[in-house]
């Protein structure tokens, strides 16, 4: 692909406005933040002279030219990995992620990721604003967490979706909900966990609640069902979790913090071996087959970043979690 050359003459209506703003209004397929970068990089000239200040005030009849560089080749290579596509148009794609699929390349996972699959599926349309190793990615799910995930396919969609995820639903546009099978019975049927998270000093792969800083993290939960063990003791619960923030391992770390880690979570629930011994034979067998945390992103709603249409999607529980749920119900 080659660089794009775009040229126009400023109008009277644009006089006095910022250069980056005028560019983003003239060419709405590229975000204002991207134009700021292009201006600072010397990719814009006015009447033949390079201008590197995004806040430069435009005068009428000035000829403005911008060179939009061709997308850099993505470092990850395209790989033919099947995708469960729930929705797709020219601007975005929604997939139902299976367990075991890593979102983007990183140490130990340079191939076989969702990004590799998306590059093969979407080609040059995939946004690179998130970086060459994370093109189009605006949120993520852990490797072994299943469920719905949206990816931007161009710069405009990336900016619009990023804004919504940054607001975490506070403006009413974004909705994310998860289903989790957790150990034990919760004291309250619903509640909020407001506890900052940071990486654990002794295990950088694990998040822990911080009392001296960390990143603000809030999870709202609601108990949907409870399942008994011996006597009247609740052995496990089906919980809906909604995020007010989006931190690494947030639901897993928060539920473990209040004493109810997800079933199958080797990182945060390793201390519940005794509880696992109280499962029925069928439930124990289903948990052994699961081999991961029983956590599924089952609901995703957002405003389409281009059309402004309200989109909502739901994903049924995957077979392995559903089998565990069924065994708990019948146990």
**Cα separation of 319 and 286, whole Å?**
10
Give the integer Cα–Cα distance in Å for 123 and 121. 6
* Cα angle, residue 168 at apex, residues 162 and 173 outer, rounded to 5°: 80
pLDDT for residue 108 is more than 80: no
Q: In percent, how much of the chain has pLDDT > 90?
A: 72
What is residue 320's predicted lDDT score, i.e. its pLDDT?
97
pLDDT at 191 over 70: yes
| Predicted pLDDT at 6 | 92
Q: Provide the pLDDT for residue 211.
A: 80
Cα gap 71→126, rounded to integer Å? 10
Return the pLDDT at 127: 67
- Sign of dihedral through CA atoms 203, 206, 210, 216? positive
Q: What would the mean pLDDT of 103-125 be, rounded to a whole number? A: 86
Token pair 């993520």 is found at 140
Q: What is 178-299+312-330's CATH topology?
A: Pseudouridine synthase (3.30.2350)
Residue 74 has pLDDT above 60, yes or no: no
Instruction: Please name which of 14, 66, 7 lies closest in space to residue 37, comparing C-alpha atoms.
Output: 66
Residue 128 has pLDDT above 90, yes or no: no
Using CA of residue 268, residue 271, residue 275, residue 277, what is the dihedral sign?
positive
Domain span(s) for CATH 3.10.290.10 in the chain:
4-68
CA distances from 169 to 153, 164, 175, 253 (A): 22, 7, 6, 21
Res 220: pLDDT: 97
Give the burial string for 25-42 (b: 16+ CB within 10 Å, else e).
Answer: ebbeebbbebbbebbeee
- The two structure tokens encoding residue 129: 């604003």
**What are the tens digits of pLDDT across the range 223-258?**
999 998 655 689 999 999 999 998 999 999 999 999
Here the tokens at position 293 are 């945390």
The Cα 66–Cα 78 span in angstroms is 30
Q: What is the spatial distance between Cα 144 and Cα 124, in angstroms, rounded to a whole number? A: 28
- Give the chain's radius of gyration (CA, Å): 24
Fold of 85-167: Pseudouridine synthase (3.30.2350)
Q: Is the pLDDT of residue 133 over 80?
A: no
- Pick the catalytic residue: 20, 91, 96, 142? 142
> Over 90: is that where the pLDDT of 204 sits?
no
Give the per-residue pLDDT at 231: 56
Q: What is the pLDDT of residue 299?
A: 98
Name the CATH superfamily for 4-68: RNA-binding S4 domain (3.10.290.10)
pLDDT tens, position by position, 19-35? 999 999 998 888 888 89
CA-to-CA distance for 227 and 295, rounded, in angstroms? 17
Please state, in angstroms and rounded to a whole number, the distance separating the CA atoms of residues 304 and 200: 37
The pLDDT value given to residue 132 = 75
188-216 average pLDDT score: 89
Query: In the chain, what's the furthest Cα-to-Cα distance?
Result: 83
Do the Cβ atoms of 24 and 35 come closer than 8 Å?
yes
What are the structure tokens assigned to 156, written together?
């405009």
84 is catalytic: no
- CA dist 14 and 22 (Å) reads 7
Q: Where in the chain is the domain with CATH 3.30.2350.10?
A: 85-167, 178-299+312-330
pLDDT tens for each residue of 267-296 = 999 888 888 888 999 999 999 999 999 999
Q: Determine the pLDDT at residue 72.
A: 62
Say whether pLDDT at 107 is over 70: no
Residues in the chain: 331
pLDDT for residue 73: 57
The Cα–Cα gap between 149 and 95 comes to 6
Helix axis angle for 32-40 and 19-26, nearest 10°, is: 130
Residue predicted with more confidence, 331 or 172? 172
Pair 94, 38: CB distance under 8 Å:
no
């Amino acid at each position: 692909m080659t660089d794009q050359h775009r040229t126009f003459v400023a109008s009277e209506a644009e006089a006095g406005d910022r250069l980056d703003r005028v560019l983003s209004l003239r060419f709405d397929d590229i975000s204002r933040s991207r134009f700021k970068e292009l201006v600072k990089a010397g990719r814009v000239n006015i009447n033949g002279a390079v201008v590197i200040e995004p806040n430069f005030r435009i005068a009428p009849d000035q000829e403005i030219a911008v060179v939009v560089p061709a997308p850099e080749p993505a470092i990850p290579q395209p790989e033919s990995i099947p995708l469960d596509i729930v929705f797709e148009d020219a601007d975005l794609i929604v997939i139902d992620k299976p367990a075991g699929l890593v979102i983007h390349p990183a140490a130990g996972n340079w191939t076989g990721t969702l990004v590799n699959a998306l590059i093969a599926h979407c080609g040059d349309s995939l946004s690179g604003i998130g970086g060459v190793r994370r093109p189009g990615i605006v949120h993520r799910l852990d490797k072994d967490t299943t469920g719905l995930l949206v990816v931007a396919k161009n710069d405009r969609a990336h900016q619009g979706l990023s804004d919504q995820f940054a607001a975490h639903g506070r403006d009413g546009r974004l909705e994310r909900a998860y289903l989790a099978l957790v150990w034990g019975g919760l004291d309250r049927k619903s509640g909020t966990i407001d506890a900052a998270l940071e990486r654990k000093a002794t295990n950088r792969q694990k998040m822990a609640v911080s009392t001296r800083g960390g990143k603000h993290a809030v999870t709202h939960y609601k108990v949907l069902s409870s399942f008994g063990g011996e006597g009247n003791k609740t052995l496990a619960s089906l919980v809906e979790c909604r995020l007010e923030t989006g931190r690494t391992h947030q639901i897993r770390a928060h539920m473990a913090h209040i004493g109810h880690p997800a079933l199958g979570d080797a990182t945060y629930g390793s201390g519940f071996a005794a509880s696992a011994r109280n499962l029925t034979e069928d439930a124990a067998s289903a948990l052994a087959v699961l081999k991961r945390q029983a956590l599924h992103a089952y609901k995703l709603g957002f405003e389409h970043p281009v059309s402004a249409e309200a989109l909502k999607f739901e994903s049924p529980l995957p077979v392995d979690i559903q089998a565990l749920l069924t065994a708990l119900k019948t146990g």
